[in-house]
């Protein structure tokens, strides 16, 4: 059986060739382990339906939907390590960004500044800033702007549609390399580290999850250094489902973003 495969979370057009090279390396390792795999990655406009497909061979999701909706329904394979962020292996964090000419000095300055966020079920773009604000007893009162993507949030802050955003640190590195709007922005704070974006497989591959993870590890290790740098991956951390449990704690949205439409 050749299941479906996608790597949607950091698949920017500027690094698509490198992502395809990574997938080719993973596929070769899978075939060596007797696991059939498609020649090409799927790139649907909405990657989420694929996450719950029983024949999902490999994909990547966000930690928040994994902890809140997918845990127990999919196989956790492992979590990529991104050394470029400086986080512990398999971990990441969010950077809070604003226009470099209007940087807040502390979280209390965000009370009258509009947040741009990618989507409400994003750990890095929504859950992380909500928890950070609430933990300090702060709130951002202007109605937040939902942009649909981290890249959209970066552009919104750059063009003045919003005042600040919380961006996955790996995505921020991609933006500094490939998104011109990032040149006008700067980081003014960071959120605590959490487990990064997990790789998952569907129930049909439950008995082969360790072999699939091993294939990913071997593929990453064998990549050319230039490809590893382009996709920002240096290894794979073998986390367990319970490592993501803290991300399932209730979000204090009412406290942090009181004007968010319900």
pLDDT in tens, 237-251: 999 999 999 999 999
If asked whether residues 51 and 110 sit together in one domain, one would say no
The residue among 164, 192, 220 that closes a domain is 192
In a domain, 262, yes or no: no
Between β-strands 199-201 and 56-60, what pairing exists: parallel, antiparallel or unpaired? antiparallel
If asked whether residues 103 and 185 sit together in one domain, one would say yes
If asked whether residues 140 and 20 sit together in one domain, one would say no
Model confidence, pTM: 0.96
In a domain, 52, yes or no: yes
Q: Label each residue of the chain as H, E or C.
A: CCCEECCCCCCCHHHHHHHHHHHHHHHHHHHHCCCCCCCCCCCCCCCHHHHCCCCEEEEECCHHHHHHHHECCEEEEEEEECHHHCCCCCEECEEEEEECCCCCCCHHHHHHCCEEECCCCCHHHHHHHHHHHHHCCCCCCCCCEECCCHHHHHHHHHHCCCCEEEEEHHHHHHHHHHCHHHHHEEEEEECCCEECCCEEECHHHHHHHHHHHHHHHHHHHHCCHHHHHHHCCCEEECCCHHHHHHHHCCCCHHHHCCCCCC
If asked whether residues 133 and 180 sit together in one domain, one would say yes
If asked whether residues 181 and 157 sit together in one domain, one would say yes
Question: pLDDT grade, residue 106 (50/70/90)?
Answer: confident
In a domain, 148, yes or no: yes
Residue 132 · residue 164 · CB < 8 Å: no
Give 182-223 pLDDT, tens digit per residue: 999 999 999 999 999 999 999 999 999 999 999 999 999 999
If asked whether residues 186 and 200 sit together in one domain, one would say no
Query: Tokens 């552009």 correspond to what residue?
Result: 155
If asked whether residues 115 and 186 sit together in one domain, one would say yes
Ramachandran assignment for 34, one of left (phi > 0), alpha (psi -120 to 50 degrees), beta (any other): left
If asked whether residues 209 and 149 sit together in one domain, one would say no
CATH code of the domain containing 187: 3.40.190.10
Which token pair is 112?
Answer: 């009258």
If asked whether residues 102 and 21 sit together in one domain, one would say no
Residue 34 · residue 214 · CB < 8 Å: no
Question: pLDDT grade, residue 32 (50/70/90)?
Answer: very high
Give 1-10 pLDDT, tens digit per residue: 679 999 999 9
If asked whether residues 106 and 185 sit together in one domain, one would say yes
In the chain, the number of structural domains is 2
d(CA 83, CA 30): 25
Domain that holds residue 33: 4-84+196-245
In a domain, 182, yes or no: yes
If asked whether residues 98 and 172 sit together in one domain, one would say yes
């Amino acid at each position: 059986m050749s299941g479906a495969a996608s790597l949607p979370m950091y698949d920017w057009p500027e690094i698509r060739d490198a992502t395809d090279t990574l997938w080719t390396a993973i596929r070769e390792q899978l075939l060596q382990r007797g696991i059939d795999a498609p020649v090409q990655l799927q790139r649907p406009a909405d990657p989420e339906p694929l996450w719950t497909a029983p024949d999902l061979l490999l994909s990547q999701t966000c930690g928040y939907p994994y902890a809140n909706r997918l845990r127990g329904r999919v196989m956790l394979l492992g979590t990529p390590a991104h050394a470029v962020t400086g986080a512990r292996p398999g971990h990441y964090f969010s950077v809070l960004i604003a226009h470099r000419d209007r940087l807040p000095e502390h979280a209390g300055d965000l009370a009258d500044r509009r947040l741009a966020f990618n989507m409400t079920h994003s750990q890095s773009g929504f859950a992380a800033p909500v928890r950070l604000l609430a933990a300090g007893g702060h709130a951002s009162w202007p109605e937040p702007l939902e942009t649909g993507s981290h890249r959209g949030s970066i552009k919104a802050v750059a063009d003045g549609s919003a005042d600040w955003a919380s961006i996955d640190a790996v995505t921020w590195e991609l933006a500094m390399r490939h998104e011109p709007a990032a040149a006008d922005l700067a980081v003014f704070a960071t959120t605590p580290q959490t487990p990064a974006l997990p790789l998952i497989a569907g129930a049909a591959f439950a008995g082969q999850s360790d072999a699939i993870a091993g294939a990913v590890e071997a593929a990453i290790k064998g990549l050319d250094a230039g490809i590893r740098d382009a996709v920002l991956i240096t290894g794979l951390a073998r986390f367990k489902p319970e490592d993501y449990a803290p991300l399932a704690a209730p979000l204090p949205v009412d406290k942090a973003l009181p004007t968010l439409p319900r």
